[in-house]
Structure 1
Amino acid sequence: MKDFAALVSAFAWRVFGNSGQVENLQQLTGGANMESWSFDYAGRGYVLRRSPSAEMMAGRTYGHDIEAAVVRAAFAAGVKAPEIVGEIEAVDNLGTGYLMRRVEAEVNPTIILANPPPSLLDDFARALAAVHAVPIGDLPILPEAGAATLLSELKSRFLSYGGDRPVMALTLKWLEDNLPAAVEPVLLHGDFRIGNLMVNADGLAAVLDWELAHLGDRHQDLAFGCINSWRFGHIDRPAFGIGPLDIFFAAYSRESGVTIEPDRFRWWLVYATLWWGVCCLQMADIWRSGLDQSLERAVIGRRASETEVDLLMLLEEAAPVEELGLVTLKTPQLFPRNGEPSVLELLEALSGWIQTDIRPNAQGRDRFMSAVALNALGMLQREAGAPIHIQDKLLSEELLAGNQSLATPGLLAKLKVKSLQKLAADQPKYSALAVAQRKWTQ
C-alpha cells in the first residue's frame, strides 16, 4: 500500500504541476472489473478509476483513453458525468485509467431506493435524453451495435458457456423471432442503472461507469436499468425500482422529443434480462479460468437463476392460454438429525461459525466477504436439502431450433417448476420468487 500511495502521489504531482500531499487514500467498494481509489489532494477530493493490468482489460472493446474521451464529451454536453482532470500514462506505472473530481453523493441502491428524491425519475429521463443527444461528431470512434448484432453475440456467449439452460434458449429464440427493425444510432451509456448513478437529496448527482458506451438503439439504454435485477427488491416499481413506466416514458418523451415504442422497449427489456443472466454464467467461467478466483465472482455465477424466473414472467404472455395453468412444487425431503453429521448439518455448523466467530470481528471488505461466504453456504445448504439440476443441453438445442416452444404441451409448466426450485436454492429472497410462487403455484 505504501508503494502504491507513492505512485498515486507522483501521478497527482504530474497532473496538477505541484508537489502537494495525497491524503485519505482508500479503495472504494464495488466495481467487478475496475478499481476505484478515493483521495484528497490540495483540499479537494478525487477518484482514480484504473485497471492495474492489461489482463484485466482483455476482452474490452476499447481502452480507458476512449472511455475518458466519451466521458469528457458527455460532460461538455451537459450530462452529469464525472469531470475528468487527468489520465494515467505509462510513466505513472499505475496501469490505465483516469482521474475524476469526486462527487459527494449516495451510490448504494438500498439507501437510494428506500426513499428516492421526488424528482429522480424525471432526472433519469433528462440524463438519458442528454446522453442520446450528444453529437456523434464530438465522440471518438465507437462501436455501433444494433439489435441483430448484439443478439448474435449474446447467443455465441450462451453457447460458449454450455448452451444448456432451457429458459435462456427459449428466450434467445423469442428474441430472434421478434427482432426489431434497425434505427438511427445514438450515443448509449450502456450501463445506466441504479448502482452506477449517484444521488443526493436534490436528485441525480452523477452518472458513473461509462465502459460499455457505444452507438445503438436508444431503447436499449431506456430498458436496461428497468430489468428486475436492477430494481433491488422493488419489483412493483418497474422503472428503475423508482416508479411506473408510463411516468418514465412521458418524462423521456418530454425531455427528448422522441416517443418511446412499447414493443421495442419490451424487446430490449427481455434482451437485457437475458444479457445479465449470461453475464452471471460468464462470472463462473472467469472464476474457473483462474483470472479472478474471488468467492464473490463465483457466487455471482449463481444469480443466473434470478433472470430465468424474470424471463418466464416476461414471456409467458406469449404462451397459449391452455399452458398457463398452476403448477405444484414438491415439498423438500427432511433428513434425519441423528448419528454422524450429515452434509447439511456440517454446512450449518460452518455457517454458524462464520456468523458468530468471524463476522462480528471482521472489518471493511472482510466483513462484506463474510456475508458473501454465508450466502454461498446458504445456497449449498438449500441445495443439499432439495437437489435440482436445471441444465438440459438437448432441450436447449430443441428450443433454439424452434422444435419446441411455449406452445409445446407441458413445457412451460416444467420450466416454471425447475426455475422456481433453482431460484429458491440460489436466492430465496429475490423479489420475483415470492411473486412467481403466488402467481404460478397452487
Structure 2
Amino acid sequence: MPTTLRRRNRQELTLRKSFVEAMRDKLAFHRPHTRSISLLRPAADTRNAPSCDLHYITPPTFYSTPHSIRNLPVEVLLYVFILGSEEDPLLPLTVSHVCRFWHVLAVHAAPLWRRIVLGSHYTVWQESICRARACTLDIEFTSHEPLAFYEVQRYMHLVMPHIRRWRSLRIVFTNYYQPFLWNAALSECCTRSNHTQVPELEELCLVYRHNDDTKEFCLFSGRAPRLRRLVVDGIRLTWLPSLFQNLTHLDYTHHGLTNGCYAIQEISNLLRVSSRLKQLGILFPYKQHRARPPSLEDYCPSALYLPMLEQLHLRVETKSIPIELLVLASLLNTPGLVELKMIDVGCQRQPFPNVNKFWKQYSISPSVRVLYLQDGWNEKKTVVYVTGLGTLEWLVLGHGRSETVRWFCK
C-alpha cells in the first residue's frame, strides 16, 4: 500500500546574502533604460559653475506616492532649490532628506551650497564649503546679539582661506555697540597681499551704525574689478578707483564722523570716482557731533556729473532735511534720471520745515518720469509745483509704508 510522505517540521524559505546581491545585480542590469537628464547649472553662474562628479542624474522610474512635483524636469527642480536657498540657508539640508533622488540631486549641485552663513552652526557651513567645491561663495555674517572681538575675528578667519572665491560679502551688526568690531571683521581683508584680492566679488554690504572708529579701511589690496553693488553704513572706506569705479548700485549712509562741508567734500570725491552709477541712495543719519559743524555759507563746491544715473533715492530720518543733503542734492547733474524717490524713514506726520527751501535749490531733471514723495516730503506747495512739470508721468504720494495716492500726470 502506498504511503503519503509528510514533512514533520515546516521550514521557512531563506535566501543567503550572496544570492540576494546576485539577484539585485541581475535585475539592475536588465532594468529598462530611462531618459537621463543632464544636471544643468543656473544661467547666472555658468562661468563659475564647477563640474559635478555625477554628470548624469536619472530620475527613478516609479515612486511610492504620486505627486505633480515628480513631473518636473531635473533642471527646473534644481533651480527651485537654488532660489529657495537664497531665502533659507538650511533649505539644502532640508531637501536632501526628502528622498534618495533629491539627496543625490542636492549633494551633487555645487551652486546650491554656495551661501555660507556664519554663526553657531559651525559644522553646517563648513560642510557647505566642501560641497560647493570650486563654486563661488556668498559669505553672510549677520548678528543681532553682542559679539566679542575675538568671536568676530574667529569667524572671519575661518573663511579667509577662500577669499578668492567670494562672490558676495555681507556683514551686518545691529542693535548693539561693541568697540573694534570693524577691526575684527576686516583686519585680514586690509593687508596688502595677492592673497587678499577678490577677483570674483560682485556685491559688498557693510552695515554697523554704531561704529565710532575714525580709521579708513582700504579693502582687498585695493582691487575688486567685478564689484558692482555696494551698501555702506557706519564705516569709512578708502575710495580707490581700482575698487569702486565700476559700481552701478550704491546705497550710501554717511558714517557721521564728519559733517558740514567736510562731509559734502568726502561724498563728492567718492561720487566722482563712481561716476558710472545707475542707482544711488543717500542718507545722513542722526548723530550727535562733538564739534560744531563748519559753516556752509562760503563753501562753493563744484557740480557732480552722473550721466548714467537712472534712480535716485534721498532718505531722511531726522525731523528736518540735513543741510548736507540739501547742498549735495543741489550739486547733482543727472541728465538721464528717470525715477526720483524722496523717502522719510521716520514717517513723521508733519512736512519738513525746510522742504520748500530744498525745492528752491534742487531742480528736478527734465528726464524724470516717476516722482515718489513720502510723509515729510509731502507738502501742498510741493505737490502743486511738481504737478506743473510737463515731463512728469507718475506722482506717488506715500504715507508710512504704503502708497496712498498715485496720479497719472499725462
TM-score range, shorter chain: under 0.3
Task: With the length of structure 1 as denominator, give the TM-score of the two structures.
Answer: 0.26
Q: Which one has more relative contact order, counting CA pairs under 8 Å at least 6 apart?
A: 1
Larger Rg: 2
Task: With the length of structure 2 as denominator, give the TM-score of the two structures.
Answer: 0.28
Q: Greater helix share, 1 or 2?
A: 1
Q: Greater strand share, 1 or 2?
A: 2
